[in-house]
Amino acid sequence: MKRTFITAIAAMMLCTPALANSYETATADTSTEAKAEKKKKNVTYNEKGEIIKTGTNFGPLPVVAFDADRGFQFGALLNLYQFGDGSTYPNPKSQWYFEASAYTKESAINSYKFIVNYDNKTLIPGVRMSICTGYYKDAALDFYGFNGYQSNYDMEMLKPTFHFDGSPDKDSEDYNKTYRKFLDKGKMPKGFYRFGRDLVKAKIDFTGEILKNFHWEAGYSFSWTKTQSFKPKGYSVLDNPELLLDPNNSALYVPGGTTLFDLYKVWGIIPEDEINGGITSSIRLGLMYDSRNVENNPTKGIWAEAHVIAAPKWLGTTHEHYRYCATFRHYVPIVQDKLTFAYRIGYQGTFGDEAPWYSLPFYTNMGVKADNDGFGGYRTVRGLMLNRVQGLDVGFFNAEFRWRFIEFKLWKQNIAFALSAFCDGAHVFRGYDMTFSDTAKLNAAESIMKGEIPAANYEGLYNRFVLDRKDGFHGAAGAGLRFIMNQNFIVAFEYARCFNKQDGNGAFYINTGFLF
């Protein structure tokens, strides 16, 4: 499945002074002499010839994009960086991140998000504090099943035709022309791979130094998740009681409006008590080694973390579970500050077999960044469809060359452009139990699904969408361009293409920051 993001005015904003407006806080002084001194203040440079930023710098950016699956996106984001006297530049002493954006489809807003993050290194002596909060409303979130390739993604597997009386009469006047373009191509409507989710999440992390570059990490995380079947307007899922039939086996059919998420509930793969989501309240403890030269734009050093996540019932968690996560990042300078080879290896696993399905899409981050949503997409494995790789134990990697090919000063800002070439991959090492459950199916069919369907139909559909095989390598490769201001405010343009069509086709991203 192809995602397309098109930004209309970001490039124009990058060329305006308003994007990089900066100022220095100072004690109010109304004297003429003080004002003249302020105007004459000299710009200070570091040993690399960069302007040392002081005070507060901010980078606003409009969010104007188009998503082929979600529709038109609009909104705004703002980065605020506090450098103080400039002694820590290019690493800020504190920073804020704000974002408010929404997606529209068929003139209606179907998903939106509000994010506020804060990071401070000086408020608590010797301790770094990071807070991330957000509310996310998704009426059409990707759902491709569990265990990677064990869940078959094949848009040509079912060739649905339908009629109001359930007969496969394609020429009937009652045939719904809205979906003809999908049916003529022999494809399932894209909404078949969607579900709805409301998410509120917040976390606070603390980091302190043990030895040089060696740190302890501790934090608390909370999330409230509510999930539901996919029922929005303007998408290619049938909302009426027509029947989708498989012409290769006329005995197999599902009611109009049914999604893969609905089938997983009927098959018992998603336990009944987890269907609607729940609360995850967890404590996180870990260790970190960090020798990066610049946090947001590193060209050398190692950044490695390992931590455990405990979400017991006594802390308020709906479905108790315990997990662990380890990430190793290495930045290898090839040409100093110009060409860097960077790679990241990550692994997230579960102690035992207990972890609610709605907690799987998140890869744990400690510190200033919020947890990544799903394996696949811009923040984990570029090119792969979001949430394509889900399991109890999942590993992934990213490897890329970063070439900063031009640097210059503009409006007292340090500006640079960088090119990158990358390869990303992922694999499910231990999956969910995908056993077909007759009891769960028979008990849930009447309450969850529309209509009366014989048990054999569900078993036949199960055999089509759940395969008897283990997961394999999910990979993609691509290239990108980045605009970098003051080594902190970064706008990225990237395109990635999958090696296997089971993971999607190609995806174009416009986002902020480096992947890692």
pLDDT at position 271: 86
CB 236 within 8 A of CB 191: yes
9: its two tokens:
């005015």
What confidence score (pLDDT) does residue 76 get?
A: 87
Note the Cα 419 to chain centre separation in Å.
22
Note down pLDDT in tens along the chain; length 516 residues.
433 333 333 333 333 333 444 333 333 344 444 444 444 456 787 777 778 788 888 767 777 665 544 557 788 888 888 888 888 787 788 899 899 988 776 555 678 889 999 999 989 999 999 999 999 998 888 899 999 999 998 665 444 433 333 444 444 434 445 444 444 444 445 577 889 999 999 999 999 999 999 999 999 999 999 999 887 554 444 433 333 444 444 444 455 567 889 888 878 888 889 999 999 999 999 999 999 998 888 999 999 999 999 999 999 999 999 999 999 999 999 998 899 999 999 999 999 888 999 998 888 888 888 888 878 877 889 989 888 999 999 999 999 999 999 988 888 888 999 999 999 999 999 999 888 766 655 555 554 454 445 555 667 778 888 998 889 999 999 999 999 988 777 888 899 999 998 998 888 887 778 888
Q: Among 128, 111, 112, which residue's Cα sits nearest to residue 120?
A: 128
- Spell out the residues 6+ positions from residue 397 whose beta carbon is closer than 8 angstroms to its own: 343, 344, 345, 346, 424, 425, 426
CA distance 90 to 311: 36
Instruction: Please tell me the pTM assigned to this model.
Output: 0.78
Partners of 142 in the β-ladder = 194
